[in-house]
């Protein structure tokens, strides 16, 4: 059973790697941020699977912290960076 | 960061990636050597830490090292954070050119849901720190995260906190740390020498106070400028932290 | 065996990611990559049997630092625009 958990963790890790490609290619800032947000969810799942697979229940605490704080970057993005969509494209808004 | 700018920039510094690559290879070689080289002798300091764990007042090795054996490190870390806040506050204030619109229903509900949970988990980590992973810094980071969340949504809770309390909270970490160290001296021990029964109490007190102070410092660092009296949205600290921690 | 496969994927991804963070000309992309780097680094700390560091990394590395960087990015954009306005004003002054 633990092997199954670890295999699932690897599958999720590979999906994180695929998400990284989206961050690399993502045409808009929102695409990139959503991929990073996916990592938050994936990360929690990987940590929980590792906690069971390696039988170290302390890892569940890490998952808990992760679940709480992964939303922070997205909130910062929505509040601080998103309206400035041009930050991504040109590095400086110069439409004045 | 404009297209032309960056290509010109990169062409001008063609050596930098090469240098990075060389450094990376060197680092990997060093790590591989460190990993593969046979370890001689004993396994570091682990057995000495374990031997002294009985009178350190806590059951977790990491907490014992951070707050008892090597309390100097943590004290200096507190001072680093404190000085960081002082430095940030002494800079010229910066205002974002457009004022943030009020957060929508979804964001404010999220904050209302998440902040109490963060305070709860921060408290849990603080409590768990004495016998497993966790402790003051982790709890402080989570409380700081709660503060950042409130700052990002310019929550009305922020303006409710008096400025003086914020400054006190930020100073409290280093000051309390020093006071506890001196108290140990008054009791006839060395500076910051905590042992036996009293150690457990001292470390719990230290952890609670430093966690609150670290949380405030991190949120203040994110806030970026000193809140001015009576100015909305400029505050940093998190009143719910203090309230939540007391429960 | 499964665990070492997990470790190898994790290590390779971390190095690849670090390389892209350092070389990316697009600051926003670098910030999003850094946020995901925080996640993978937390997983690495978990695998290195250091749950304390993993907790701190999960809280600081991906949550707080990500929010801080996104704010800094916005601030850089504002500052740069201010500088451009200044340049234009100077040009106008020189012309006149």
Say if B173 falls within a structural domain. yes
Per-residue pLDDT of A37-76, as tens digits, reads: 888 889 899 999 999 888 888 888 889 888 888 888 888 8
What is the enclosing helix (H) or strand (E) of C26?
none
- Give residue limits of the domains in chain A: 2-86
Contact flag C28-A46 (C-beta cutoff 8 Å): no
CA angle C59, C64, C70 (to 5 degrees): 145
* 3-state SS assignment for residue B24: helix
Same domain, B14 and B58: no
Say if B78 falls within a structural domain. yes
Q: What percent of chain B has pLDDT over 70?
A: 80
Same domain, B31 and B149: no
Q: Which of B62-71, B231-240, C18-27: highest mean pLDDT? A: C18-27
Tokens 């500076």 found at: B191
Q: What was the ipTM of the complex prediction? A: 0.78
Say if B127 falls within a structural domain. yes
φ/ψ of residue A83, rounded to 5: -65, -25
Average pLDDT of the segment spanning C6-25: 89
CA distance C81 to C79: 5
Same domain, B25 and B121: no
Say if B42 falls within a structural domain. no
- Rounded to a whole number of angstroms, the distance from the CA of B189 to the nearest CA of chain A is 35
Tokens 């929690």 found at: A44
Within 8 A of B106 by CB-CB distance, chain A residues are: none
Give me the domain span that covers residue B77: 48-246
Same domain, B15 and B98: no
Count H helices and E strands in chain B, helices first: 11, 0
Q: Are B10 and C25 in contact (CB under 8 A)?
A: yes
Question: What count of Cα atoms within 13 Å lies in the side-chain half-sphere of residue A85?
Answer: 4
Say if B28 falls within a structural domain. yes
Same domain, B151 and B30: no
Q: What is the CA radius of gyration of chain A?
A: 17
CA distance B205 to B193: 15
Average pLDDT of the segment spanning B38-49: 69
Same domain, B72 and B105: yes
Say if B43 falls within a structural domain. no
CA distance B117 to A72: 13
Q: Decide if C74 touches B, using CB distance below 8 A.
A: yes
Nearest to C73 among A26, A50, A81 (CB): A81
CA distance C16 to A16: 13
Domain count of the fold of chain B: 2
Same domain, B16 and B119: no
Nearest to B133 among A61, A69, A79 (CB): A61
Task: Give the least confident one: B144-153, B229-238, C24-33.
Answer: B229-238
């Amino acid at each position: 059973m633990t092997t199954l958990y670890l295999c699932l963790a690897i599958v999720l890790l590979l999906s994180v790697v695929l998400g990284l490609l989206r961050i690399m290619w993502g045409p808009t800032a929102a695409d990139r941020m959503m991929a990073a947000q996916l990592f938050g969810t994936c990360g929690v799942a990987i940590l929980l699977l590792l906690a069971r697979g390696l039988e170290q229940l302390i890892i569940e605490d890490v998952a808990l912290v992760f679940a709480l704080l992964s939303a922070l970057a997205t909130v910062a993005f929505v509040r601080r960076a998103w309206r400035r969509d041009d930050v991504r494209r040109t590095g400086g808004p110069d439409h004045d | 960061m404009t297209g032309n700018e960056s290509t010109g920039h990169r062409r001008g510094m063609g050596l930098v990636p090469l240098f990075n690559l060389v450094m990376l290879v060197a680092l990997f070689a060093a790590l591989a050597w460190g990993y593969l080289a046979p370890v001689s002798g004993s396994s570091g300091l682990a057995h000495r830490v374990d031997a002294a764990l009985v009178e350190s007042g806590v059951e977790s090795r990491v907490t014992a090292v951070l707050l008892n054996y090597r309390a100097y490190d943590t004290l200096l870390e507190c001072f680093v954070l404190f000085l960081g806040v002082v430095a940030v506050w002494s800079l010229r204030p910066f205002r974002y050119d457009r004022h943030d619109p009020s957060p929508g229903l979804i964001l404010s509900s999220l904050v209302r849901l998440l902040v109490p949970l963060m305070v709860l988990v921060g408290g849990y980590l603080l409590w768990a720190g004495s016998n497993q992973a966790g402790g003051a810094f982790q709890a402080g980071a989570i409380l700081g995260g709660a503060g950042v969340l409130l700052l990002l949504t310019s929550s009305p809770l922020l303006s409710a906190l008096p400025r003086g309390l914020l400054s006190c909270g930020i100073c409290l970490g280093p000051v309390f740390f020093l006071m506890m160290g001196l108290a140990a001296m008054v009791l006839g021990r060395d500076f910051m020498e905590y042992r036996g029964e009293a150690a457990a109490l001292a470390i719990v007190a230290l952890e609670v106070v430093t966690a609150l102070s670290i949380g405030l410092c991190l949120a203040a660092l994110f806030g970026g400028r000193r809140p001015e009296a009576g100015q909305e949205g400029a505050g940093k600290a998190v009143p719910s932290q203090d309230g939540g921690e007391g429960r | 065996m499964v665990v070492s496969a997990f470790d190898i994927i994790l290590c390779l991804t971390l190095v690849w990611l670090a390389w892209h963070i350092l070389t990316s000309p697009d600051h926003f992309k670098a910030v999003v990559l850094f946020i995901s780097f925080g996640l993978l680094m937390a997983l690495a700390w978990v695998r290195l049997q250091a749950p304390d560091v993993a907790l701190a990394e999960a809280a600081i590395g991906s949550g707080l630092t990500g929010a801080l960087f996104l704010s800094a990015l916005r601030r850089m954009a504002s500052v740069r625009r201010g500088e451009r306005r200044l340049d234009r004003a100077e040009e106008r002054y020189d012309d006149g």
